[in-house]
């Protein structure tokens, strides 16, 4: 049971990092939302496996919340926003996609170099989940930095939060209260951002950040 | 005995140089001088390969500075490099016996050629800092004189100027490195330096940096490589072959001597500089080579790439040695030295071939060549062999050294440091990319220059070169084939040097059945060049025989199919620039900011459309141009001191005096 | 001794004879999936025989390199294909070349094919050669990363050792999956299948391999086509040997085990051909300058697999 548990957890955590890379590669809105759904599904599978291995039934609830909110509600919401704001466009990337991918690999290497020595005393399962979770967080941040479209920045923020959940479940679970409050605050943030996007779109006819920057008057 | 023989031969080479000055203009002088160089190179080669036993031979001569003298030493490393240098020297001399007949001003080349050979050999034998640097300067200055041989061309003058600057910079760096190693006691002999106590980590790091700057600039390590593509094409072909194939190896020897021998036990972070610089050099070199249309410049950039590979292997050896992993260190070191040997052979062959092409057609630009496989069949065959060898294709020798480097890279996960563990696979990716690009680059070079149809009258009316040149080139190709088919003996030759410098050695390869090489016993990876070659030969003949038996042997000639639109004009062929376009567009847009410009006239306008390619040399623009601008700026500011009034000069003297007095007052 | 040599010879003949069948089978499956009847699966054999009997039409400007290149290409590809374990590991000469050497042998074949394309001096040959050079340059780093991952897990680059390791330590590894996907991508790019190149057409848009072999006819073209079929067989065998080695007879096994291994091998080829046809039917060819992205994905997968492997090994 020992190595099988580790191998399956390794599979799911590595899969989450892989899906983060696929998320980074997307250049179309619909693809982005679909891959984000996949991201959430892989996360919930990982959390469910952690619940099974650590014998912590409350993590099943975390997995169910992840599936319900992140894989169903939020993608549907994003799709509605996309249709209402009529932003079916491609997502412009700052810097080439090749450079972004190489930078992503360097960030994964960096998080390994930082995390593995720092957690030398912990159990292997927890160490690995923490290292990969930091990678997912960094990749989410990279996505927010290299995208010019506000929707894709929201998706990057969500994937960052997925990484945090992975870290929390890997480090021997977290109380359900924390999980619910985190998820709730993310949902609130999402609603607020959505409202602001509508207002911005009404005012300026675009949600492209570079355009908005130019309207604001460029660099100050 | 071999050491005295070597030193006498070097002295004889210097005398030949003097003789050349005396003989000057006669045609026979050229042949005589090169023949003497050939004989002396062969004697030096024999001196290098005669078995000496385990100990190194050393001697001290009462030359040079009275309190230092001149120490010379022949140990395993020096012997290996001497063998490499003199093989190259012999081939170039044999080639020049025939090629030298085309030279219009032999008096500018003949005196310096033997001195160049002598200088290189002397560097390898030097056992104290003074002899090393004097020999190094002999090597640099004589090669500079050879680069400036055809000084009527402004490009050659510029090449000589840049070369002189970079060579002086390199020597200065080496001088400072030796100064640091000798310490305040001034013990310049290498034997004393070896016995001295190790300096602080800062000192060692500084010496390493200076060694990389000094030896690396001579070898062509990025970003100190800018002189190489200018100087190597400017020299006459036999000298280009020596500079690219052999002088760069002498620089590698200098690096090995300082870092592996004189500095003592390494730290793990010493390896990071050669690893990263080597990888960057390899990629930059081969990408630059792929877009060149001057054949010799292409070969010079390809030299840069191979030097990058050698430095990567040396960096790996340092990394393994610093962690006490003797067997992987020996494997990496063996790979580096094997590649040194291979590169000397096939790069010399390539430059000799390019020289043959240049003397037959007068062209160096591949866009004006083509169809030479019909006009110069033997040269084409030999050049093709060299292209196959440098592209690291089995069963020739280039593949064996690449295989050894990759096996060393595959051993890297056992390194304990995470930075190295992550750096080495990235370096492996860079090496694989440069190896694949190298094959593409030489497909382009050979395909555009030798295949297809002639693009100019000169290419169409070319004649085959003289038999001396062909003999030299055939000898080199035969050695390449031999090194590829039976690499085990060469590996065993490198083993003594590896034992000395990395403390371990690969298992003896000579006794393995079927002459294969299996350098790492535990992974059971092995390679057998001879069997692969025999299999390939068998398969080719088997296929030809089956086809002959079951198929028809009818053949007729006709115009090319070309999808039904054959055009006899050679301008419709693919040019070198078109061939490189995919690579220029994908990788070149990052490496050189390469942009294609298409200038289309408006409809109705009858002027021709123009297509241009814009390339930026990032190293020059990013590193050297700012330095040059800064130097200009400082010079301009200091120029003001030329035009001061008398008052101004007096004021300057007074201010300096007061400042010095203040310094004395404040200094505790 | 004789038995060992006979086994090695049998492997060489087996790969040679099965290569056109694999090609024909793949075409047949593709046709069926597109609701056509398609040519019979044995058609490539008839094509080869027909080509061998035809007269060679040689361009006026073609040199000796053009005439020799088909045999050199065939020799390099056949030797490489014969060294990949198909029905048994540890055959007599299997240690003379490892995974890196097999990749380099394919590089030799590609080198000579590109030169042959440049030889006649037509622009189509140049297009094929330059595009093939670009694809090969980008596929090599991906391949080396895949070799790295596999060699790290198995401890050797020798294919018999890799297969033996996989047989004795079956375990679930993400890195293996990533390396498998990477190798499939590299195989598709190297063999010029959809989505990198369309092997069925001769249009300029989709010409890479076809462009280099455009001027060949008669027996030369037969040899080159056979070499291309062998290359496809080699990659399918490679994937089967590294990632699905079940059924391979171990070193020193008897005739029954080898016969069973041969049957397993034929089954694996059939599965591989079917999956290839399925994949080709479901995607479109991508434009040439998106192929670097495609191969870059293989490189990313290899790098990611290496990093994941470092993590799991150091814990």
Q: Give the DSSP per-residue string, C252-312.
A: T--HHHHHHHHHHHHHHHHHHHHHHHHHHHHSPPPPGGGHHHHHHHHHHHHHHHHHHHHHH
Contact list in B for residue A117 (CB cut-off 8 A) is: 418
Q: At B11, list the tokens.
A: 């002295």
SS3 B612: strand
Q: Give the whole-angstrom CA distance, residue C187 versus residue A113.
A: 33
- Answer yes or no: do B536 and C136 touch at CB < 8 A: no
Place of tokens 């030298």: B100
Q: How far is CA A68 from CA A16, A30, A72, A183, in A?
A: 18, 19, 5, 11
DSSP B189: B
- Predicted pLDDT at B143: 94
Q: Give the whole-angstrom CA distance, residue B91 versus residue B432.
A: 30
Contact list in A for residue B419 (CB cut-off 8 A) is: 113
SS3 C57: strand
When CB atoms are compared, the residue of A98, A99, A113 closest to B418 is A113
Q: Identify the bridge partners of residue B189 per DSSP, sorted by sequence position.
A: B128
Sequence-separated (6 or more) residues with CB below 8 Å from residue C193: C199, C232, C276, C280
Q: Give the whole-angstrom CA distance, residue B523 versus residue A60.
A: 45
Q: Give the DSSP per-residue string, B560-606.
A: --GGG-----GGGSPPHHHHHHHHIIIIIHHHS--EEEEEPPPTT--
Q: Give the whole-angstrom CA distance, residue C168 versus residue C248.
A: 12
For chain A, give every domain's residue range.
2-216
- Predicted pLDDT at C72: 96
Q: How far is CA B358 from CA A65, B294, B540, in A?
A: 75, 11, 34
Length of chain C: 315
Q: How far is C133 from chain B (nearest CA, A)?
A: 5
Burial class (CB in 10 A: 0-12, 13-18, 19+), C67: middle
- Give, for all 315 residues of chain C, the pLDDT tens digit: 788 888 889 999 999 999 999 999 999 999 999 999 999 999 999 999 999 999 999 998 899 999 999 999 999 999 999 999 988 887 878 888 889 999 999 999 999 999 999 998 888 889 999 999 999 999 989 999 999 999 988 888 889 888 888 888 877 678 888 999 999 999 999 998 988 888 887 676 667 888 889 899 999 999 999 999 999 999 999 999 999 988 888 877 788 888 999 999 999 999 999 999 999 999 988 888 888 888 989 999 999 998 888 887 766
Q: How far is C308 from chain A (nearest CA, A)?
A: 7
Place of tokens 């109380």: A175
Count of pairs with CB atoms under 8 A, one residue in B, one in C: 281
CB within 8 Å of chain C, chain A residues 130-149: 131-132
Q: Give the whole-angstrom CA distance, residue C208 versus residue C193.
A: 10
When CB atoms are compared, the residue of C175, C293, C310 closest to A112 is C310
Q: Give the whole-angstrom CA distance, residue B109 versus residue B356.
A: 18
When CB atoms are compared, the residue of A4, A10, A101 closest to C312 is A10
When CB atoms are compared, the residue of C174, C301, C310 closest to A11 is C174
Shortest CA distance to C198 belongs to which of C287, C293, C294, C298?
C287
When CB atoms are compared, the residue of A11, A109, A127 closest to C315 is A127
Q: How far is B331 from chain A (nearest CA, A)?
A: 27
CA atoms within 13 A on the CB side of B72: 23
Q: How far is A113 from chain B (nearest CA, A)?
A: 6
How do strand B555-558 and strand B70-74 relate by DSSP bridges?
unpaired
What are residue B324's phi and psi, to 5 degrees? 75, 15
Q: Is residue B614 within a helix (H) or strand (E), and if so which, with residue range?
A: strand B610-614
SS3 B244: helix
E-strand stretches of B464-521 = 517-520
Q: Give the whole-angstrom CA distance, residue B84 versus residue B341.
A: 6
B578, B596 contact by CB (below 8 A): no
Which ranges of chain A have pLDDT less than 50?
1, 220
Coarse DSSP helix, strand, coil percentages of chain C, rounded to the nearest 5 percent: 75, 0, 25
ipTM of the prediction greater than 0.85, yes or no? yes
**Residue range(s) defining the domain that contains residue C91:** 2-314
- Predicted pLDDT at A1: 43
Place of tokens 């000084």: B151
Contact list in A for residue C303 (CB cut-off 8 A) is: 105
Q: Is residue B266 within a helix (H) or strand (E), and if so which, with residue range?
A: none
- pLDDT profile of chain B (668 residues), mean per 10: 86 88 77 92 91 76 77 90 95 92 84 94 91 93 93 91 95 94 82 81 92 94 92 92 94 94 87 95 94 94 96 95 90 94 96 94 91 93 96 93 93 88 92 94 95 90 92 95 90 85 76 72 78 93 91 88 81 89 88 87 90 89 92 92 82 89 86
When CB atoms are compared, the residue of B525, B562, B574 closest to C98 is B525
**Number of folded domains that form chain C:** 1
CB within 8 Å of chain C, chain A residues 52-111: 97-98, 101, 105, 108-109
Place of tokens 């199919």: B561
What are residue C156's phi and psi, to 5 degrees? -160, 160
How do strand C56-59 and strand B555-558 relate by DSSP bridges?
parallel
What are residue C39's phi and psi, to 5 degrees? -70, 155
Q: Identify the bridge partners of residue B610 per DSSP, sorted by sequence position.
A: B599
B379, B449 contact by CB (below 8 A): no
- Answer yes or no: do A112 and C311 touch at CB < 8 A: yes
Contact list in A for residue C310 (CB cut-off 8 A) is: 112
Contact list in C for residue B406 (CB cut-off 8 A) is: 100, 144, 147
E-strand stretches of C150-231 = none
Contact list in A for residue B283 (CB cut-off 8 A) is: none
For chain B, give every domain's residue range.
1-199+217-228, 265-548, 574-614, 618-666
Q: How far is CA B22 from CA B14, B15, C23, in A?
A: 13, 11, 73
Helix axes B377-390, C99-119, angle to 10 degrees: 150
């Amino acid at each position: 049971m020992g190595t099988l548990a580790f191998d399956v957890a390794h599979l799911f955590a590595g899969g989450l990092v892989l899906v983060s890379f696929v998320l980074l590669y997307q250049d179309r809105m619909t693809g982005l939302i679909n891959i984000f759904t996949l991201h959430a599904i892989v996360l919930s599978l990982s959390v469910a496996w952690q619940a099974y291995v650590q014998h912590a039934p409350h993590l099943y609830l975390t997995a169910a919340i992840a599936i319900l909110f992140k894989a169903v509600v939020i993608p549907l919401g994003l799709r509605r926003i996309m249709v209402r704001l009529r932003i079916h466009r491609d997502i412009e990337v700052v810097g080439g996609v090749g450079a972004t991918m190489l930078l992503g690999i360097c960030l994964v290497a960096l998080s390994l170099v930082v995390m593995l020595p720092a957690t030398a005393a912990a159990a292997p399962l927890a160490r690995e989940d923490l290292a990969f979770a930091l990678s997912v967080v960094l990749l989410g941040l990279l996505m927010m930095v290299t995208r010019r479209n506000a929707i894709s920045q929201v998706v990057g923020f969500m994937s960052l939060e997925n990484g945090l959940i992975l870290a929390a479940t890997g480090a021997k679970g977290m109380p359900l209260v924390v999980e619910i409050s985190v998820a709730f605050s993310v949902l609130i943030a999402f609603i607020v951002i959505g409202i602001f996007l509508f207002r911005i779109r009404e005012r300026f006819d675009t949600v492209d950040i570079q355009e908005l920057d130019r309207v604001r008057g460029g660099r100050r | 005995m071999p050491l005295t023989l070597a030193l006498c031969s070097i002295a004889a080479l210097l005398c030949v140089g003097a003789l050349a000055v005396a003989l000057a203009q006669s045609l026979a002088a050229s042949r005589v001088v090169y023949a003497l160089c050939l004989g002396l190179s062969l004697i030096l080669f024999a001196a290098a390969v005669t078995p000496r036993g385990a100990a190194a031979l050393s001697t001290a001569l009462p030359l040079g500075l009275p309190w230092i003298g001149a120490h010379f030493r022949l140990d395993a490393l020096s012997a290996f490099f001497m063998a490499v240098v003199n093989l190259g020297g012999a081939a170039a001399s044999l080639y020049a016996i025939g090629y030298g007949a085309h030279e219009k001003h032999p008096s500018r080349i003949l005196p310096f050629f033997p001195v160049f050979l002598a200088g290189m050999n002397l560097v390898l034998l030097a056992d104290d800092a003074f002899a090393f640097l004097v020999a190094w300067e002999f090597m640099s200055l004589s090669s500079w004189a050879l680069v400036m041989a055809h000084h009527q061309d402004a490009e050659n003058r510029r090449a000589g100027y840049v070369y002189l600057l970079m060579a002086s910079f390199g020597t200065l760096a080496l001088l400072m490195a030796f100064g640091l190693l000798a310490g305040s006691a001034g013990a310049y002999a290498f034997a004393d330096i070896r016995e001295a106590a190790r300096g602080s980590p800062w000192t060692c790091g500084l010496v390493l940096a200076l060694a990389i700057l000094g030896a690396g600039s001579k070898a062509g390590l990025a970003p100190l490589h800018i002189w190489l593509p200018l100087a190597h094409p400017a020299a006459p072909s036999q000298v280009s072959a020596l500079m690219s194939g052999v002088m760069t190896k002498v620089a590698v020897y200098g690096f090995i001597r300082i870092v592996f021998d004189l500095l003592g036990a390494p730290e793990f972070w010493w390896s990071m500089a050669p690893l990263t610089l080597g990888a960057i050099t390899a990629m930059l070199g081969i990408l630059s080579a792929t877009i060149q249309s001057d054949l010799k410049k292409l070969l010079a950039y390809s030299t840069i790439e191979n030097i990058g590979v050698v430095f990567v292997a040396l960096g790996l050896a340092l990394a393994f040695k610093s962690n006490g992993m003797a067997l992987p260190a020996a494997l990496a070191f063996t790979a580096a030295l094997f590649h040194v040997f291979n590169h000397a052979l096939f790069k010399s062959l390539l430059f000799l071939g390019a020289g043959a092409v240049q003397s037959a057609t007068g062209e160096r630009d591949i866009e004006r060549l083509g169809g030479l496989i019909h006009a110069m069949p033997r040269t084409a065959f030999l050049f093709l062999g060299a292209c196959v060898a440098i592209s690291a294709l089995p069963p020739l020798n280039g593949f064996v050294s690449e295989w050894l480097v990759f096996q060393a890279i595959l051993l890297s996960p056992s390194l304990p440091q995470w930075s190295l563990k992550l750096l080495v696979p990235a370096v492996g990716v860079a090496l694989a990319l440069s190896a694949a690009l190298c094959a593409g680059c030489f497909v382009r070079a050979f395909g555009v220059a030798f295949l297809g149809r002639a693009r100019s009258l000169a290419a169409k009316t070319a004649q085959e070169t003289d038999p001396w040149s062909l003999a030299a080139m055939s000898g080199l190709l035969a050695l390449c084939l031999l090194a590829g088919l039976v690499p085990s003996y060469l590996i065993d030759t490198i083993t003594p040097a590896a034992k000395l410098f990395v403390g371990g050695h690969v298992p003896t390869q000579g006794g393995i059945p079927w002459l294969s090489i299996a350098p790492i016993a535990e992974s059971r990876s092995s390679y057998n060049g001879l069997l692969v070659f025999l299999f390939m030969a068998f398969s080719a003949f088997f296929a030809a025989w089956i086809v002959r038996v079951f198929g028809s042997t009818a053949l007729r000639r006709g115009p090319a199919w070309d999808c039904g639109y054959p055009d006899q004009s050679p301008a419709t062929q693919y040019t070198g620039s078109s061939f490189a376009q995919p690579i220029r567009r994908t990788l070149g847009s990052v490496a050189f900011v390469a942009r294609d410009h298409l200038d289309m006239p408006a409809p109705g306008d009858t002027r021709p459309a123009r297509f241009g390619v814009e390339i930026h040399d990032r190293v020059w623009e990013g590193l050297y141009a700012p330095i040059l601008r800064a130097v200009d700026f400082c010079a301009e500011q200091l120029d003001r001191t030329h035009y001061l009034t008398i008052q101004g000069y007096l004021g300057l003297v007074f201010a300096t005096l007061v400042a010095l007095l203040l310094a004395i007052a404040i200094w505790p | 001794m004789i038995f060992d040599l006979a086994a090695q010879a049998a492997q060489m003949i087996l790969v040679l004879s099965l290569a056109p069948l694999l090609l024909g089978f793949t075409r047949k499956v593709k046709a069926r999936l597109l609701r056509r009847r398609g040519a019979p699966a044995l058609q490539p054999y008839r094509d080869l025989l027909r080509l061998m009997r035809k007269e060679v039409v040689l361009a006026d400007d073609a040199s000796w390199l053009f005439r020799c290149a088909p045999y050199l290409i065939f020799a390099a590809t056949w030797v490489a294909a014969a060294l990949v374990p198909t029905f048994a590991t540890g055959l007599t000469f299997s240690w003379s070349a490892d995974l890196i050497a097999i990749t380099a042998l394919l590089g030799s074949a590609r080198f000579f094919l590109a030169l042959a394309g440049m030889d006649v001096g037509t622009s189509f040959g140049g297009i094929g050669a330059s595009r093939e050079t670009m694809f090969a340059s980008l596929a090599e780093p991906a391949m080396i990363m895949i070799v790295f991952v596999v060699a790290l897990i198995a401890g050797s680059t020798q294919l018999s050792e890799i297969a033996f390791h996989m047989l004795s330590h079956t375990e679930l590894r993400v890195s293996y999956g990533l390396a498998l996907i990477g190798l499939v991508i590299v195989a598709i790019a190297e063999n010029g299948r959809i989505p990198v190149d369309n092997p069925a057409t001769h249009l300029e848009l989709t010409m890479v391999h076809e462009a280099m072999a455009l001027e060949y006819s008669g027996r030369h073209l037969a040899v080159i086509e056979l070499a291309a079929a062998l290359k496809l067989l080699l990659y399918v065998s490679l994937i089967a040997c590294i990632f699905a080695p079940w059924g391979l007879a171990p070193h020193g096994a008897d005739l029954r085990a080898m016969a069973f291994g041969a049957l397993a091998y034929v089954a694996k080829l059939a599965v591989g051909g079917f999956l290839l046809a399925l994949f080709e039917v479901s995607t479109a060819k991508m434009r040439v300058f998106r192929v670097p992205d495609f191969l870059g994905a293989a490189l990313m997968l290899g790098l990611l697999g290496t990093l994941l492997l470092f993590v799991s090994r150091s814990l």
